[in-house]
Amino acid sequence: MGAVGERLRRKNDPRLLVGHGRYVDDITVPHVVHASFVRSPLAHAEILGIDTEDARRARGVVAVFAGDEVANAMPLLPTAAADESPPRRPLTGDRVRYVGEAVAMVLAETAAQAEHAAALVAVDYEPLPVVLGPWKALAGDAPLVHPERGTNKIGEIHKVIGDPDGAFAAADHVVKRRHAVQRISASPLEPRGTLAVPEPATGELTVWMACQSPHTIRTWLSDILSIDESKLRVIAPDVGGGFGSKLNLYSDELAVMWGALQLGRPVKWTETRTENFTAAVHARDQIHHVEMALRADGKILGLRSHFVGDLGAYFHFFTPVVPDLTIDTLTGNYDIPSVDIKLEKVFTNTMSIEALRGSGRAEATFVLERMIEESAREIGMDPLEMRLLNLVSPEQLPYETPFELTYDSGDYPAMLSRAAELIGYEAIKGSQRNLREKGIYRGVGVATYNLLCGFSPSGHDWNPMKFFPGHETALIRVDPHGKTVVYSGLSPHGQGSDTVVAQLVADELQIPFDDIAVKHGDTETIPYGGGTHGSRGAVVGGHAALIAAQRVVAKAKDVAGAMLEASSEDVVYEGGSFRVAGSREPALAWQEVAEEAHFLKHSGPMFEPGLEATAFYDPPSVNFAFGATAAHVEVDVETGVVSIIEFVSVDDCGVALNPGIVDGQLHGGIAQGVGQALYEQVSHDEDGQVVSASFGSYLLPSAVEMPKLTMERFVTPSATPLGVRGVGESGTLATPAAIVNAVVDALEPFGVRVEQTPLRPNVLWELIHPEPTE
Amino acid sequence: MRPPDFEYELAEDVQGAVSALAQGESVMAIAGGQSLIPLLRLRIARPSRVVDIGRVPGLTGISVSDESTELGALVTTADVAASDDISRSNPLWTEAARVIADPLVRNLGTVGGNLAHADPLNDLPAALVASRGEVLAEGPNGVRTIASDDLFVSPFTTSLEPGELITRLIVPGSPSGAYEKLKRAAADYGVVAVAVQLDIGDGGDIRSAGVSLSGTSAVAPRSNRAEQTLVGTNGGDDVIEGAALAAAEDADLAADERGSIRYKRAVVGALAARALRRAIARGNG
Ligand SMILES: Cc1cc2nc3c(=O)[nH]c(=O)nc-3n(C[C@H](O)[C@H](O)[C@H](O)COP(=O)(O)OP(=O)(O)OC[C@H]3O[C@@H](n4cnc5c(N)ncnc54)[C@H](O)[C@@H]3O)c2cc1C
């Protein structure tokens, strides 16, 4: 009995699947004007002048905003680490610093008219030298992205823990490698969109926005637009994926809101796909130079990495902390006592780096798991064996990492062994020689992960934002018929958290799953919430709902006690009915109690009417999920094409509240990992043009590219009341390394050295068949 | 982006379409729209008027005999990919159609449009050249036949006169055909592809050979040397290797995000050998 643990269908899917979703672009209001942006075609240039005459005269045009004066009248955008961040406004009037930066906004009666008029705005640019590539940006003579800062370097973090120098001195082997993690784009199915509706008579502003965290946006808007939060309403309607890219308040979104306030008319903007590739945040983009110190038997003694994070031209909400997260998770599941990690962060003339599913941790996992693979190969040890030797063992738990994270429980070696067993590690290794003789190159690779997630408590170290809560909230309201609405502060946009919340509330209230509706994404109806990101849905949002449900049950017992003329402590609630402990009196049904709570027909004023409760939950600490993956691949050495024959994922997310949703989250994460390993890449030419600004060039894995998946779950409940661990980002972490490790294994006879991804066919072929040197 | 404004006309018959198109270069035909609409949205094509030939009667229909496959210009690439008759008598065309883009594009894209667009990355031009097919073109001056070798002039340019429409494709059939294409991802255009169609006698002797490429600088170039290497032989391993090498050596390639010239040349060679092996096996099977 009970809904938790069942593979229930997601509540929203039927509606979305038949096309009845309501995304920002589907929402129409009267008198709306449409926005289109003029964006910089250059990565770095001074703006000498902007001629908007023709655009202003074009059919349907209502207003054109451009130029220094206008830009300076606009509010500053909120960013991470406000004192270090260069100021940024919705439009730039003097200088552009990346391709796609908004220079002018055209408002017109139709979206087509706005777009046509935008093409008539003539901007006179004086090109400036472009800075691309993080190491080049650090060079003394590099052009400066923000000349007033005097350097492109944003900061340096150097963490030395244990005795790395001693470890390297004592090592029998030191393995050195370079690993680059390429820049990627979130590529949500729905690009961004904003509809801002002002009410000049009252000073109110309602904003529909494809976003992941509406309350955070509301608080920031209040701050920068000087409108009381009581007069601001932010609504995230159906949102078609975000992956972190919709956590921000962007320049174009703020320009739309500002324009609506200037005009006193609603303004709507829907991002095009082309815009999304340049004007929505990018992710990853780190280059590591790594050294691993090893004892002769394969024990890892120490790890050094000197790495650089290319952060783009400006800060968004989390830009500077993404690579910080890489440092703090760089030892993964392994017992590596001594580390020496140096990070330099730089500005370049590119779009900002931001949080994207697995951010910071995916880079760390890739570098570590590639490094272990390379080390094992270099010292002639089996990579699986080396991992098993170095993984933190169950006996070592709780285990404190060099970065002071405390892993609570789990069995990492058992999971890795199981993944190896499921993929048929030994059999694949055993058949390699014969197959190679026939020209068939197959390989097997493994990788493990430990997902730091559910970032909390609110004041945690990786939170660089003044307004960004770590807590989550839920209001549960029971109506007189006993049906229940949960108002959740989560803002799911594809994750299915609404379904999961309904499941656990159903069990707590002992009522049917179908009697529960979950509402989210509207600041007017939902108590102050944190939204959906960082694998926090169940671990933070789930607990808020659980606590609220417990409070509702307590209240219902008060009501039942009044009806049964007993004290509420003597009331038991079991199997959906209330009775006095030990009594044989007829029991009260949930619905009877709900009705009485509202109309008080049978009991005097012994309780406060109504049946609802709110809970805010700020977890005491972060949460960890972990697992192991294995890939079996074949490489066509004539063409460089990699086929994944099978992919195994063994995951521990603690108690799986809805196994179907957990599987779905893992599938999606694995797909992103496949993309990182083999397909996706934001690429720039030497002028800083984004040459990958369409799906013809930015290759996304589709159903066809997804491998056969074999999934298995370990269940180690976390120490939280629900026993849950995060899962939303898990699949992104170990997948790329497992695939690349398998490719390296397949190509062992060629001794290829992989230093960067994606391994597109031509890239891999060039490694297999290097140009003959004279 | 949205395209600039243009007029739209739905053609009722071939004559109507032809006379509308004959009015000038700024009038363009649209069939499946799978190449033209992207160009309109990118504002690369800026026609003043678009004439929709998609519902013109008489331009559909597949008729297949052992000797030839005849396709109306509006037959979709999905129809070609799904036809059992074509797959029996003309497997080259089945294989080529099946690797075009994704099902959404194949459901709308037409064979006439695929050829008329003359994109060096399209697949059907190479299939047409390898199988030595021809198209019927109807224009202000009546109907004429254009042989595959005369159809493609340069990238995105055919020998069709202003106002001329492709109405029909006539393709010699052969069981000894194959198409090999390298794609970076399922929905991507190819890096390079090789079309092969052979005529194999009862004794296993190759009587004639057609080899053409997609993904080169020219549209569907014929690999003359590869063909000569094959004709008159029994298609043994040495011959296959030699023909594949000739196709690779003669390919006019350019470096781009899909790969270096060196890479593409190697892939042409590998794919040509695979296509030839399959075509020969089919012919002898
Ligand atoms: C994402 C994507 C991927 C693709 N990948 C591939 C691929 O891998 N391989 C491949 O071969 N193709 C590919 N295509 C192109 C696709 O096959 C097109 O359908 C084809 O190129 C054009 O056919 P159409 O009917 O859509 O022509 P349209 O787009 O309607 O027209 C294209 C051009 O041909 C002209 N035209 C159309 N019909 C005629 C006619 N009967 N007579 C004279 N002129 C005519 C038009 O005026 C226009 O100039 C891809 C397209 C997309 C969108």
* Residue pLDDT, tens place only, B231-278: 999 999 999 999 999 999 999 999 999 999 999 999 999 999 999 999
**Cβ contacts of A36 on chain B, cutoff 8 Å:** none
pLDDT value for A772? 87
Domain boundary among B144, B172, B200: B172
For residues A632 and A720, state if they share a domain: yes
Residue B278 falls inside a structural domain? yes
Residue nearest to atom 44 of ligand 1 (CA): B116
Q: Which of A12, A132, A116 is nearest to A502 (CA)?
A: A12
pLDDT value for A177? 98
* Closest CB to B185 among A115, A274, A679: A679
| Atom from ligand 1 closest to the CA of residue B123 | 11
For residues B201 and B276, state if they share a domain: yes
Task: Kindly indicate the confidence band of residue A204, based on its pLDDT and cuts at 50, 70 and 90.
Answer: very high
- Is there a contact between A638 and B259 if contact means CB atoms under 8 Å apart? no
For residues B48 and B83, state if they share a domain: no
For residues A94 and A18, state if they share a domain: yes
- Is there a contact between B260 and A766 if contact means CB atoms under 8 Å apart? yes
Query: Are B217 and B254 in contact, with CB atoms under 8 Å apart?
Result: yes
For residues B66 and B164, state if they share a domain: yes
**Cβ contacts of A274 on chain B, cutoff 8 Å:** 1
A147 burial type by CB count under 10 A (0-12 exposed, 13-18 middle, 19+ buried): exposed
Pocket test for ligand 1, best of B44, B122, B158, B184 (most atoms within 8 A of CB): B122
| Atom from ligand 1 closest to the CA of residue B122 | 11
Q: Tell me the mean pLDDT in the region B27-47.
A: 95
Does A110 touch chain B if contact means CB atoms closer than 8 Å?
no
For residues B213 and B274, state if they share a domain: yes
Query: Which domain CATH number covers B19?
Result: 3.30.43.10
For residues A124 and A209, state if they share a domain: yes
**Cβ contacts of A116 on chain B, cutoff 8 Å:** 2, 4
Query: Are A348 and A318 in contact, with CB atoms under 8 Å apart?
Result: no
**Cβ contacts of A640 on chain B, cutoff 8 Å:** 263
- Is there a contact between A639 and B188 if contact means CB atoms under 8 Å apart? no
Domain boundary among A561, A591, A617: A617
Residue A173 falls inside a structural domain? no
Q: How far is the CA of A192 from the centre of ligand 1 (A)?
A: 30
- Is there a contact between B267 and A274 if contact means CB atoms under 8 Å apart? no
| Atom from ligand 1 closest to the CA of residue A696 | 1
pLDDT value for A163? 98
Find the radius of gyration of the CA atoms of chain A.
Answer: 28
List pLDDT tens digits, range B110-162.
Answer: 999 999 999 999 999 999 999 999 999 999 999 999 999 999 999 999 999 99
Domain boundary among A617, A637, A665: A617
Residue A39 pLDDT greater than 90, yes or no: yes
Residue nearest to atom 5 of ligand 1 (CA): B101
For residues A398 and A476, state if they share a domain: no
Residue A6 falls inside a structural domain? no
In the three-class reduction of DSSP (H, G, I as helix; E, B as strand; rest coil), residue B185 is classed as coil
Domain boundary among B120, B138, B172: B172
Residue A711 pLDDT greater than 90, yes or no: yes
For residues A611 and A642, state if they share a domain: no
Residue nearest to atom 28 of ligand 1 (CA): B33
pLDDT value for A168? 98
Residue A728 falls inside a structural domain? yes
Q: Domain count for chain B, please give it.
A: 3
Q: How far is the CA of A149 from the centre of ligand 1 (A)?
A: 51
Q: How far is the CA of A462 from the centre of ligand 1 (A)?
A: 50
**Cβ contacts of B1 on chain A, cutoff 8 Å:** 115, 272, 274
List pLDDT tens digits, range A737-747.
Answer: 999 999 999 99
For residues B22 and B113, state if they share a domain: no
Q: What's the domain range around A659? A: 357-456+621-768
pLDDT value for B284? 86
For residues A575 and A721, state if they share a domain: no
pLDDT value for A663? 97
Task: Kindly indicate the confidence band of residue A774, based on its pLDDT and cuts at 50, 70 and 90.
Answer: low
CA distance A420 to B152: 54
Domain boundary among B124, B156, B172: B172
For residues B45 and B66, state if they share a domain: no
Pocket test for ligand 1, best of B99, B100, B119 (most atoms within 8 A of CB): B100
- Is there a contact between B257 and A702 if contact means CB atoms under 8 Å apart? no
Q: How far is the CA of B126 from the centre of ligand 1 (A)?
A: 14
- Is there a contact between A761 and B182 if contact means CB atoms under 8 Å apart? yes
Residue B1 falls inside a structural domain? no
- Is there a contact between A638 and B267 if contact means CB atoms under 8 Å apart? yes
Q: Which of A440, A84, A40, A463 is nearest to A275 (CA)?
A: A40
Pocket test for ligand 1, best of B117, B164, B166 (most atoms within 8 A of CB): B117
- Is there a contact between A695 and B187 if contact means CB atoms under 8 Å apart? yes
Query: Which domain CATH number covers B90?
Result: 3.30.465.10
- Is there a contact between B267 and A701 if contact means CB atoms under 8 Å apart? no
For residues A651 and A754, state if they share a domain: yes
CA of B143, closest CA in chain A: separation in Å? Answer: 37
Q: What's the domain range around B214? A: 177-283
Beta-strand ranges (E) seen in A92-222 are 95-96, 102-108, 122-127, 153-161, 173-185, 193-199, 204-209
Query: Which domain CATH number covers B195?
Result: 3.30.390.50
For residues A685 and A643, state if they share a domain: yes
CA of B259, closest CA in chain A: separation in Å? Answer: 5
In the three-class reduction of DSSP (H, G, I as helix; E, B as strand; rest coil), residue A580 is classed as strand
Residues 6+ apart with CB under 8 A from A119: none
Domain boundary among A553, A587, A617: A617
Residue A603 pLDDT greater than 80, yes or no: no
List pLDDT tens digits, range B187-220.
Answer: 889 999 999 999 999 999 999 999 999 999 999 9
Helix axes A543-564, A590-599, angle to 10 degrees: 80
Residue A306 falls inside a structural domain? no
For residues B265 and B196, state if they share a domain: yes
CA of B122, closest CA in chain A: separation in Å? Answer: 14
Residue B48: how many CB atoms within 10 A of its CB?
14
For residues A27 and A94, state if they share a domain: yes
What's the mean pLDDT when you consider all of chain A? 96
In this structure, the residues whose C-beta lies within 6 A of any atom of ligand 1 are B 28-36, 38, 73, 77, 100-101, 105, 109-110, 112-114, 116-117, 119, 122-124, 160, 165-166, 189-190
Residue A310 falls inside a structural domain? no
Q: Tell me the mean pLDDT in the region A209-231.
A: 98
Residue A339 falls inside a structural domain? no
Task: Kindly indicate the confidence band of residue A606, based on its pLDDT and cuts at 50, 70 and 90.
Answer: confident
A569 burial type by CB count under 10 A (0-12 exposed, 13-18 middle, 19+ buried): exposed
Q: How far is the CA of B65 from the centre of ligand 1 (A)?
A: 26
In the three-class reduction of DSSP (H, G, I as helix; E, B as strand; rest coil), residue A322 is classed as helix
First to last CA, chain B: 51
For residues B124 and B138, state if they share a domain: yes
Does A766 touch chain B if contact means CB atoms closer than 8 Å?
yes
For residues B166 and B182, state if they share a domain: no
Q: pTM surpassing 0.95?
A: yes
CA distance A390 to B136: 71
Residue A580 pLDDT greater than 70, yes or no: yes
**Cβ contacts of B270 on chain A, cutoff 8 Å:** 638-639
B265: nearest CA partner in chain A = A639
CA of B67, closest CA in chain A: separation in Å? Answer: 35
| Atom from ligand 1 closest to the CA of residue B137 | 42
Query: Which domain CATH number covers A563?
Result: 3.30.365.10
Q: Which of B282, B108, B114, B191 is nearest to A636 (CA)?
A: B191
Residue A283 pLDDT greater than 70, yes or no: yes
Place of tokens 């890939």: A631
Does A640 touch chain B if contact means CB atoms closer than 8 Å?
yes
pLDDT value for A1? 58
List pLDDT tens digits, range B70-109.
Answer: 999 999 999 999 999 999 999 999 999 999 999 999 999 9
For residues A120 and A264, state if they share a domain: yes
A57 burial type by CB count under 10 A (0-12 exposed, 13-18 middle, 19+ buried): exposed
For residues B115 and B16, state if they share a domain: no
Q: How far is the CA of B178 from the centre of ligand 1 (A)?
A: 22
- Is there a contact between B185 and A638 if contact means CB atoms under 8 Å apart? no
pLDDT value for A589? 97
List pLDDT tens digits, range B153-175.
Answer: 999 999 999 999 999 999 999 99
Q: Domain count for chain A, please give it.
A: 3
Does A697 touch chain B if contact means CB atoms closer than 8 Å?
yes
Task: Kindly indicate the confidence band of residue B50, based on its pLDDT and cuts at 50, 70 and 90.
Answer: very high
- Is there a contact between A115 and B270 if contact means CB atoms under 8 Å apart? no
Query: Are A82 and A317 in contact, with CB atoms under 8 Å apart?
Result: no
For residues A534 and A659, state if they share a domain: no
CA distances from A166 to A170, A327, A391, A402, B46 (A): 6, 20, 21, 16, 69
Residue nearest to atom 33 of ligand 1 (CA): B117
Does A701 touch chain B if contact means CB atoms closer than 8 Å?
yes
Does B271 touch chain A if contact means CB atoms closer than 8 Å?
yes
Picking from A113, A639, A757, A767 by the largest number of B CB atoms within 10 A of its own CB, the best residue to mutate is: A639
In the three-class reduction of DSSP (H, G, I as helix; E, B as strand; rest coil), residue A622 is classed as coil
Q: Tell me the mean pLDDT in the region A686-708.
A: 95
Query: Which domain CATH number covers A56?
Result: 3.90.1170.50
A110: nearest CA partner in chain B = B2
Residue B2 falls inside a structural domain? no
For residues A714 and A587, state if they share a domain: no
List pLDDT tens digits, range A297-352.
Answer: 999 999 999 999 999 999 999 999 999 999 999 999 999 999 999 999 999 999 99
CA distances from B137 to A8, A708, B60, B163 (A): 58, 47, 15, 10
Picking from A644, A694, A762 by the largest number of B CB atoms within 10 A of its own CB, the best residue to mutate is: A762
Cis peptide preceding A758, ω within 30 of 0? yes
Phi, psi (deg, nearest 5) at residue A144 = -100, 135
